[in-house]
Structure 1
Amino acid sequence: MKFRKFTIDNYKSFQFPTEILFPDGDNGKSIFLIGGMNGAGKTAIMEGISYCLYGGKVEDIFRAINRKSLALGNASVSFELEIEMDDASPLIVKRSWSAGVIDKPKAKDLEERLVVVRDGKRVSVQNKQMWQDFIRATIPPGITQFFFFDGEKIQEIAADDHSEIRLKSSLEAALGIEYINKLSSDLLYIKQEERKGFIEISDEDLDFKESELKLQKSKLERLNKKRYEIKEDLESFKAQKEEASKRFQAHFNVEPETRDAIRETEKRRIQTANRLGQVESEIRTLCEKYLPYSLLGGLFEGIKQQIEDERESTQGEAIKQNAAELAKRIVRAVEDPEPIYKERLSYEKMAELEKRIYTLLSEGDSVNSAIKILNLSDRDAARLLQRMEEIENCDIFLLQPLLEEKKELGIELDKIEFSLQSGAATDSEREIFDQLQSEIEGCTTQIGRKTEQLRLLEEDILIYEKKIRDIEIEIEKLYEKHNVSKVKADFIEECDAIAGLLNQFIIRMRKNKVHLLQEKTYEMYKLLSSKSGLIKDITIDDKTYEIRILDKNGQEIKKSGLSAGEKEVFALALLWGLAQTSELKLPIIIDTPLSRLDSTHRDNIIRNYFPNAGEQVIILSTDTEIDNNYFKNLQSHLSGAVSLVFNQQQELTTLKTGYFWEV
């Protein structure tokens, strides 16, 4: 596996998209050199590659967004890594975080997006976790600390006599032992889960369930037999009905179903006759109650006028009879209680006024005089007027619609009775008609009953079939749980056998891997150490991974007794041994590895470690670590070099082709 291109955008001092191309060196040129002063962005590149592959906390990402871009509202950052796989197929991983267009974005607003491109085709990332797992399986994060490291990692390993013990899990991951341990643990878990299935089930329990199953099957068999009998009866009645229907049609040349039509016609005849009776009753009531009086309806207006004239004539006569008294009361009303005029009348004038009023009243109105024909009292007149009003508002005027309805009902009733009389010509035909119709109706009734019986019976059959299935499933589960289950016992026995083989394999593999690791580590340590002549061997315990350094006399040399430089070259030797032993072809990325070393150790690392560290080695260095002389020593191994140029005023890093002093 090799890195071909890395793009970093808006991260720390990389405000704008910056591409770093990693060329493929010929003839063993495996080293790519990235130069940069302190603060120019070397560590940002290391962090960016890790974030691109494995993601990170949004808080850390947000804090590292370029400050100028963030101030302008650009809360986004992205990394893209183009990889050439071992089979030469391309893989592109792009991971970005963005808060979108919002005011004053915060870390929680960042949304992560992962894009994976394989063989030039963008793959679906709906299942983000699946592709993240793919990346982690391709480049395991527990192992990359031994391939992507800086001076701090070297110091961590070199820190004390037992630092490697704390790295046990990572060491086993790098050596490939972790996956075998995981497989062994999974196998143990499966075996334990299988053992949970061993519940003690007695033969009596199985016999009881078997007898219950037999009983339910016996009941189901009886129900199926009864269903068969009902179906036979049902088919028989259907055949009888069909035969009767054919004879009916042959004899009367009509379908037997016309019997229903006849019944419906008879029903209509009864309804029509009943309605006709109601209409006739209403007509009689109207004629008896109102008809005699309604014949005088044309005289009602004259009678009303005569009553009114006689009333007015009677009132006039009453006035004439009381003219003297009325005249006196009218004259008194002129001045009592007060005069209605300014000048008071004299006695003579008052007498003259009373006389004139009397004359007027006693003469009366000759127009209102009428000949008294009816001569009714006021009470009788009021009763007569009320009666005439009742007659005028009565239902006698509904008589005409009722007469028309009676006529229509009579015509319809005649038609219905005629159709009924033509239904059967003779008594013998009527007898045959009734006999066949009765036979058909009897078959229809039996068909309905048998159909309902069959429906209920089939429901019961479904219930018993479900009971039987449930019991069979229960019995099957009981057999599966039975402690004499041969299949389960064999499976657990196989799990034990496989677990034993895996444990033996782990022991042998760990011994082989640890032995190879100590050989490779000692091999590189001799090349790097200034005291290699004093060291006879390096041993690593294949259980605890504790490392012992032995002198020529076989005495242990404590790591704490080594100088700082010796500790660091020992750490580099161990990292190189892990890379070689793991057999993983990952790129090696080293950030400022020489800052704490003296010139002797630096010379050894430049000559012996960097050219042999891996198939692709990316070194991030300052101009004082790999200076002009070291650069010349490495030049024959370089596939290329670039420099990070940091503008302090703009706080901006850009990329320049060539190392510091290269043009």
Structure 2
Amino acid sequence: MILRELVLENFGPYRGRQVIDLSPDAGEQVRPIILFGGMNGGGKTTFMDAIRLAFYGQRAQCSTRGSLSYSDFLSQAVNRHSEGKTRIELAFEEILNNQLVVFRVTRTWQKGDNKDTLSILVDDWPDRALTNTWDEYIENLLPLGISNLFLFDGEQVKELAELDVPPPQVKEAIQSLLGLELAEKLGEDLEVLVNRKRKQLANKSTLSNIEAIETKLNQQKADLNTAKEQQEQLQRKLDRAHEDHRLALENFISEGGKIASQRSQLQRKINDLKENAETEKEALRELAADMLPLALITPLLNAAKEQGEQELEYQQALMTHEVVKKRDRALLDYINQLAISATEVDKISAFLQEENQTLEAKLHPKIPPYLRSDQDTLNFLNTVLDYRLPNLLKELKTKQEKLEEIKIEIDNSDREIANAASPEIYQKLETAVKEAQNKKAEAQANYESGQRYLQELEEKIKETKQELERYSQEAIDQNNNEHIIQSAAKVQKTLEQFKEKLTLKKLNKLEIEVTECFRYLLHKSDLVHRVSIDTHNFRLSLFDTQGKPIPKHRLSAGEKQLLAIAFLWGLARVSHRQLPIAIDTPLGRLDSSHRHNLVERYFPSASHQVILLSTDTEIGEVEYQQLKSQDAIAHQYQLTYEEDTGETIVQSGYFF
């Protein structure tokens, strides 16, 4: 199994729709790790709960559920700022019918729902049969009992590390993972079979008259043939009634009956349209009462604007001309007092005369002033020409188009009413349709009654056949039951021996794997030589190179945690199940050397897909660079919790 994508929509702190790519990179350099960074309370636990919930629904062992009912848990899991539906969608790859396919498991609900809605897609095609049997299917693929051995958090590892004997749920998961429960289950099933056979022998009844049963069966078959002939006639009547009803409906529509039945609705529609048209006309009258009529004299307004600008320039030139001439005379008088050559003085005088000619030209406009406009008047005229009139013309066009659309719709509705049937014809058409509909309903009822009678006869024939077979086979079954009971005791003893040998074989292999994993993770490789596992309670015992036991209390807290991880790793390797591993808060109490070994040796090799959810103090910058140097990270995300809005956003990249 490979998890490909997780979609969270309004789930817990994840508001809106957030799509997370979980695909490991399986190129030339395998990169199995998908790394998530998030502070405490940022949504890491909710992320793990989403995977469990997608797989198991009501049976999911979610960390935040506690003693809540499933409906209360679903309501609690809805994002508190969301009004829409909550959705969890998990896509993963798996083999189905010897082909690699993509499953897409979707669960949706909203606050107040008693349960979620499950949908299963296989290669983007809905699979209703798989949806109905999903609990059984996922139980074969990833049994709920062993899921915590692949989807676990640091707290579980800490708890397992401190216990001498694994808790009952872990023991059951180990037995399931190693296949040790099969022999026990076979023994229980065999005992159930033996009890059933004993009851069959004890409750054996007297054989009935087989000939009487055969006579009854023949009569039932004859009744069935007669009923089939009658059903064929009812089918023809039903088909004819359907056709008559169809023709009556077509005639009703073609003769205007449908329009006549909607006459009052059409009339109300026309009245509403006329009211809308009057509203638009009133709006047009209001536009005409404003300055819209000025649009008719736009050229005159533009000419007035141009004349006003020229007159304004003339007034400004007239005001400044005398001032400039006086200034020029004063300037020349001052220059003459300075020690400047006559040639230079002439040049300055010529320059001033040339500048004054431009000013004097404005004192002789082509058209003499007659408007006497000021700057405020010109500004208002510019506003009218550039903004007010264009906006009014645009609004005029919009309302004219809308008024035209309303008129067209009124005309169409009038034509429809004109095509409607008269009240007398409409009454006849309606009566014909009702009669045809009543005949069709009667024929349908007769047909369904005949069909039920057929099914009853077929069920009676089936029961009679089963009765006949049962009596014919009972003598043979009696002998077989006696043989099964006699052989059951031998099989039970064989199963006990098989279970003992299977347990020894599996645990011997598990001991080798756990020892290898533990020594591989330890930085003190000579500390432990062998790990032994008790066949009854799965207690772990440690031995040194001399074969002497090592008390577990001699291990540090970090070494105990590594032992628990080695145990889980060994179980995964022995089970040969190709399942992804997801770990929340993976480096709880480890010192730097143990962290180094776990980051370097366990995470890249634990599985083909490893999802890590860590804070910035667990997988810090040193550990992050260590994973980067191994090129083991396929994707990295940061779960950013926004305190202002109380929601978590999934972003690309890690803390560093």
The TM-score, its normalising length taken from structure 2, stands at: 0.55
Structure 1 match to 2:46: 44
The partner residue of 1:65 within 78, 81, 85 is 78
After superposition, residues 513-662 of structure 1 pair within 5 angstroms as 513-635=506-628, 636-661=631-656
Structure-1 residue corresponding to 2:124? 120
2:33 is matched with which residue: 25, 31, 34? 31
Change (3 A) 1:470 1:117: closer
Query: C-alpha displacement at 1:469, in angstroms?
Result: 11
Please say if residues 7 and 17 of structure 1, whose CA atoms lie closer than 8 Å, have aligned partners that are also in contact: yes
For residues 68 and 478 of structure 1, the distance between their equivalents in structure 2, rounded to whole angstroms, comes to 67
Residue 492 to residue 79, structure 1, CA distance change in 2 (3 Å)? same
Go from structure 1 to structure 2 and tell me whether the alpha carbon gap of 1:634 and 1:488 turns closer, same or farther (over 3 Å shift).
same
Structure 2 residue 164 is matched with structure 1 residue 161: yes
How far is 1:130 from its partner? 1.5
- Output the CA distance in 2 between the equivalents of 1:66 and 1:469: 59
Instruction: Confirm or deny: 8 A CA contact 1:161 1:558 kept in the other structure.
Output: no
Aligned pairs for 1:158-237 within 5 A: 158-163=161-166, 167-199=170-202
1:331 alignment partner in structure 2: none
Give the match for residue 501 of structure 2.
508
Q: Does 1:20 align with 2:13?
A: no
Tell me, in whole angstroms, the C-alpha distance in 1 between the residues paired with 2:131 and 2:467: 45
Instruction: Indicate how the Cα distance of structure 1 residues 179 and 81 shifts in structure 2: closer, same or farther if over 3 A, else same.
Output: farther
Q: 1:52 to 1:515 in 2, by over 3 A?
A: same
Aligned to 2:5: 5
Aligned pair in 2 of structure 1 residues 52, 478: CA closer, same or farther (>3 Å)?
A: closer
3-state SS in 1 of match to 2:627: helix
Distance 1:643 1:491 in 2: 62
Match of 2:153 among 141, 144, 150: 150
Counterpart CA distance in 2 for 1:474 and 1:128 is: 36
Structure 2 residue aligned with 1:95 = 107
Q: 2: distance between equivalents of 1:16 and 1:478?
A: 65
Rate the CA distance shift 1:128–1:22 in 2: closer, same or farther, 3 A.
Answer: closer
Query: Per the alignment, do residues 21 and 470 of structure 1 end up closer, same or farther by CA in structure 2, a change over 3 Å counting?
Result: closer
Cα 1:163/1:471, change in 2 over 3 Å: closer
How far residue 179 of structure 1 moved from its aligned partner, in angstroms, is 3.6
Residue 94 of structure 2 corresponds to which residue in structure 1?
85
The answer to whether the Cα contact below 8 Å between 1:538 and 1:548 also exists between their aligned partners in 2 is yes
| Cα distance in 2 between the residues matched to 1:627 and 1:192 | 62
Deviation at 1:475, TM superposition (A): 7.0
Shift of 1:595: 2.4
CA–CA separation in structure 2 for the residues paired with 1:28 and 1:156 = 32
1:271 alignment counterpart: none
Unaligned runs of 5+ in 1: 100-105, 221-467
Q: 1:471 to 1:60 in 2, by over 3 A?
A: closer
Distance (Å, rounded) in 1 between the aligned partners of 2:203 and 2:5: 63
Aligned-residue sequence identity (percent) comes to 31
User: How far, CA to CA, are the matches of 1:474 and 1:655 in structure 2?
Assistant: 65
Q: Structure 1: how far apart are the matches of 2:610 and 2:120?
A: 24
Q: 1: CA distance between counterparts of 2:641 and 2:470?
A: 76
Aligned counterpart in structure 2 of residue 130 of structure 1, from 133, 140, 160:
133
- Distance of aligned partners of 1:490 and 1:599 in 2 relative to their CA distance in 1, 3 Å threshold: same
Q: 3-state DSSP class of the match of 2:37?
A: strand
- Distance, in Å, in 1 between the alignment partners of 2:505 and 2:468 is 54
What secondary structure is seen at the aligned counterpart in 2 of 1:17?
A: strand
Q: Distance in 2 between matches of 1:161 and 1:517?
A: 17
Instruction: Give the secondary structure class of the aligned counterpart of 2:562.
Output: helix
Which runs of 5 or more structure 2 residues have no equivalent in the other structure? 59-69, 216-463
Is the 1:165–1:544 contact (alpha carbons within 8 Å) kept by the matching residues of 2?
Answer: no
Contact 1:156 1:163 in 2 (8 A): no
Per-residue CA deviation, residues 492-513 of structure 1 (Å, 9 max, x unaligned), is 4555555444433332222121
Residue 198 of structure 1 aligns to a residue whose secondary structure is: helix
Contact conserved, 2:74 with 2:115, CA < 8 A, in 1?
no
